[in-house]
Structure 1
Amino acid sequence: MSASFATALAAARDAAAAQHYPQGALYVVATPIGNLADITLRALHVLQLADTVACEDTRHTQALLRAYGIDKSTHQLLAVHQHNEAEAAQQVVQRLQQGQRVAYVSDAGTPGVSDPGARLAQAVREAGLRSVPLPGASSITTALSAAGAVAHSAEQGGFVFAGFLPVKQAERAAAVQVLAGEPRCVVLLEAPHRIQELAQALAPLGERPVTLARELTKQFEEITTQPAHALTAWLEGGAQRARGEFVVLLHPMAVASDGNGESLRVLRLLLKELPLKTAVRLAAEVTGASRNALYDTALVWKREGDGEGEDNA
């Protein structure tokens, strides 16, 4: 254990030990996504208290626990990962029925969102048992908090979590085409060996801003926002830029404001007679409105069945 965490364990006991931790409950525990200091005091206390720690990778979790000075024997660690989650969940349910406190951790971050854990929580709920969430680190909210990518308007507010896109090129391109019509911020995840392919798939979105967040909370953390068409060039600008796990944020559409009624009126008239891209180009030239904003607005209309033109692109 690092000496710096000795005081953290003591603080965890002081801050959290007086709270109630029922037996026969599953504790879903968020763990750091990189920086070991991003662990909550309550998480440290529950990990010490747990009779069983269910986890994606027992070796990884054993190393994590030892870094904090928490000792668990091999039989107290139970592997629950994407390949055995349904079957292993029943073992967890049995231990809960015996009155054990079971903590579940993924390899990093908050379980059950992109990492395994959802089936486990479902099995526990269906067995009439309790799940207790312990909030903490998440690469998704970490990236969102720094990117300024979440709009607050009624049409574009919030964000959509899409996770990992399909691996096959044609399926990935089809998924991007669907996301192109989504006016809200879209959150994607990607591995380093596929980030270039994702960048190429997003390139047709043109000037739409995209934030790449890599190595979050680690020494070489990097967050950049680029136009979609420039992502590939940015990644090729340095050997280290394609390393590490990525959170990719597709910013909200630059939808034209209804306050600019003349440009929207012209756009709607042109869409009745012309293909989408042609109508957008002419509307921008005639009214001086932002071409990108008009294009995104036309996409929204088309998705909602409110546009007249056909997109021949």
Structure 2
Amino acid sequence: MSMPSRYETEISGSAMMAAMTEVHGRVWRQGRPQEDFSFDHVSDYLADDGTLVWVDVYDPDHATLTALADELKLNVWAVEDAMAPNERTKATVYHSHTFFTVYAIETVAPSDDSSSTLLKYRISGFVLPRGLITVRLPAETGGRWDTGQVSNRFDELGGQEHGVGALVHGLLDVVVDGHFDAVQALDDGIEALEDELFAEDGPKGGGLQRRTFRFRKDLVELRRVVLPMREVVSAIQHRRLDAKTSPELDPLYADLYDHVLRASEWTESLRDMVTTVFETNLSLQDARLNTVMKKLTGWAAVIAVPTAVTGFYGQNVQYPGIETVHGFVVSSAIIVVLVALLYVTFKRRDWL
């Protein structure tokens, strides 16, 4: 389900620019959804006690976002953070609003052993008393995160009765659910590595090492996204409690915080697991190499017996049995007996 109203505002200055900023919005009055959203009336919505508004801005131009911030009295540094590249997950409380940045995660099938299984979508938000302004930047892969699932989650919870706190909860809940899906996908991938690691024929080629290294990098990226979510949820919940609004949301935020903790702990445990897989693979490779060397050494010892005997009888000197049938029989018997003795001894010790 997409947001009902959609507007594209052209960025203009001294000359018209080709870039387009997409603006989506939803409005509720007295708990009822409205169809008359207009980006030009955002200030009026926020000034109306009985109105709740959600404005979603996709790929904004800096000038457009700055103009919106001036109109809504948003903190200038928060606006800069919303546009800055590689901003970390965080939440900052200002006098009139709360600013946060989170990353939604989507799992994809890797194209090869070195490809990532995660896609990140950055979402920044300005939480106002009667509205939520979200700013989304394009992903590096060109994909786009679906905001319709947030609308669905908000409607399912009947969030119109609880104001902006329910809207923010719906957004964060969908983001955290995506984190769980990503952790689950990585967990399944690591278990597949373990199964391949201890297979009877062992891992084939260098694919396991590459996939293990890829999982380690994915977990590092996921950890940077998941761990700071505790700070974000806590800051938003405490700011809302300070305002003493919608106490009915307390159990929902407590449950959301619990999900964040579980995702964080799961991510940490997976880091230990993938490190163990990496180290175990190296240990098994050393063990297999030792086994091969042991077998080669045993066969070399077995082969050395006939080499030594035939070498002795091949001397250019006189020795007992030279040029006689019984000399050939004795030398052959010595070779057979010693080889059989070494073979049985090494076999009992599992050297062959």
Select the structure of larger CA radius of gyration.
2
Q: Which has the higher contact order (CA 8 A, sep 6+)?
A: 1
Please confirm whether the aligned pair reaches a TM-score higher than 0.5, indicating the same fold.
Answer: no
- Range class of TM-score, shorter chain: under 0.3
TM-score by length of 2: 0.20
TM-score by length of 1: 0.22
